[in-house]
Amino acid sequence: MVTAVVGANWGDEGKGKITDMLGEESDIIVRFQGGSNAGHTIINDYGKFALHILPSGVFYDHTTSIIGNGVALNIPDLFKEIQGILDKGVPMPKIKVSDRAQIVMPYHILFDQYEEERLGGKSFGSTKSGIAPFYSDKYAKIGIQVSELFDEESLREKVEGICEKKNVLMEHLYHKPALSPDDLMETLHEYRKMVEPYVCDVSAFLYKARTEGKRILLEGQLGSLKDPDHGIYPMVTSSSTLAGYGAIGAGIPPYEIKRIVTVVKAYSSAVGAGEFVSEIFGEEADELRRRGGDGGEYGATTGRPRRMGWFDAVASRYGCRIQGATEVALTVLDVLGYLDELPICVGYEIDGKVTKEFPTTNLLKKAKPVYETLPGWKTDIRGIQEYDKLPANCRQYIEFIEKELQVPVSMVSNGPGRHEIIYR
Ligand code: GDP
């Protein structure tokens, strides 16, 4: 049985918490895309953690945590993160790294920085962790797979070819120092030493696990609207954020993914540039940002203040549909308890016509939000464990959202902690 936990929005929906929770009843947890550019915040019995590349299952001793082939593997970041959790008293997790995962190289990070500098005000708001240059190289077929670390001769040949190509850009586009094959080989030798004990034929491992009836959890990063195909291109990430990609990024058959838990945030937030129809500004936004998430809405990786907005039913319904959501976990609902009324964006007005369908980016740029407003519940709902005990106006908000999403809301999260969850 394979379950995926993915996001319906711009990311930061609280997937980390839901994965951490579902991890309790899983045997294997797999990261299948993305890199250490985004983060999950998890609060559990060991403390508060910001994970960027480790799967959110590393806190249980019964789970195996896997970095799938679809991930952008930053080896030093992975080891820093492992050390970070060990330092806080978490036992050494069982970790496997796909032999087909590709490696984020120091020059990917440099190219990311140089390109953002070059673009100036027109930049993509990259986290500068090398993700776009990494995936570009993967598909240009000059990426380096973990398996290639173990074939010295062909690795050297490849690295020389890479330097030849990259140094043209270094010299003529960015006017920066050239890459040296010797330095890169030294780095790769270090990486080999670090990663060797964890290297695994992950698709074979998962095949065997499935035949033994093991429960597998796929953990996505970011959300539907950041998908390179179905999101707000080009202000998207460079690997697919969809549950469907879980099959590819982990190496399992698509029909095995039976349960797609899609995490939807009870209001909107986004990091970086890009279309965001229900965005709010000024004091209204500042207050929601201050009260949002757990201690404010600031990026888990970058610390950047997140952009804030009201719940967007158009974007979220689309986000659920494109994920193939079988159920929804609605998160951070507790944050909204201070509001007198809650606007919900139920349509987009584009060129004088109202639509409920999420359009392509060129039309999205022209979209104006159409709101319906529901009354607030004006109380703190943290600590409530049964759905019926929630204030009537709060249930009305949830049920309104559920109707708009056209997917059952199976869980409502009313606090950042592992057990702050209401099942329906
Ligand atoms: P992810 O990338 O989807 O895992 O999301 P993030 O970890 O970036 O952002 C979610 C933030 O909201 C984190 O700080 C979580 O601790 C916090 N969080 C998750 N669920 C809830 C909730 O139900 N209520 C509150 N107040 N905070 C939550």
User: Candidates 9, 13, 17: which one to mutate for ligand 1, based on the most atoms within 8 Å of Cβ?
Assistant: 17
d(CA 235, CA 23): 31
Q: What are phi and psi of 373, to 5 degrees?
A: -120, 130
Question: Is 294 close to ligand 1, i.e. is its CB under 6 Å away?
Answer: yes
Question: Is 421 close to ligand 1, i.e. is its CB under 6 Å away?
Answer: no
State the closest ligand 1 atom to the C-alpha of 292, by its place in the atom list counted from 1.
Answer: 26
Question: Is 43 close to ligand 1, i.e. is its CB under 6 Å away?
Answer: yes
Closest residue to atom 16 of ligand 1, CA basis: 416
Which of 190, 366, 208, 357 has the alpha carbon at shortest distance from 275? 366
Question: Is 413 close to ligand 1, i.e. is its CB under 6 Å away?
Answer: yes
pLDDT tens readout for residues 280-336: 999 999 999 999 988 899 876 677 899 999 999 999 999 999 999 999 999 999 999
In the structure, what pLDDT confidence band is assigned to residue 151 with cuts at 50, 70 and 90?
very high
Kindly list the distances between the CA atom of residue 82 and the CA atoms of 36, 52, 338, 363, in Å, as whole numbers in the listed order.
Answer: 13, 11, 38, 44
In the structure, what pLDDT confidence band is assigned to residue 141 with cuts at 50, 70 and 90?
very high
Whether 359 contacts 396, CB under 8 Å: no
User: What is the whole-number distance in angstroms between the Cα of residue 213 and the centre of ligand 1?
Assistant: 31
pLDDT tens readout for residues 215-234: 999 999 999 999 999 999 99
Catalytic residue among 40, 52, 108, 230: 40
**In 3-state terms, what secondary structure has residue 307?**
strand
Helices (H), 29-148: 75-87, 106-119, 131-139
Between strands 216-223 and 2-7, the pairing is parallel
R_g over Cα of the chain: 22
pLDDT tens readout for residues 17-48: 999 899 999 999 999 999 987 777 788 888 88
- Token pair belonging to 147: 């398996």
Query: Which one-letter amino acid corresponds to residue 310?
Result: W
State the closest ligand 1 atom to the C-alpha of 414, by its place in the atom list counted from 1.
Answer: 23
pTM of the model as a whole: 0.95
User: What is the whole-number distance in angstroms between the Cα of residue 293 and the centre of ligand 1?
Assistant: 5
d(CA 186, CA 188): 5
For the question of residue 40 being annotated catalytic, the response is yes
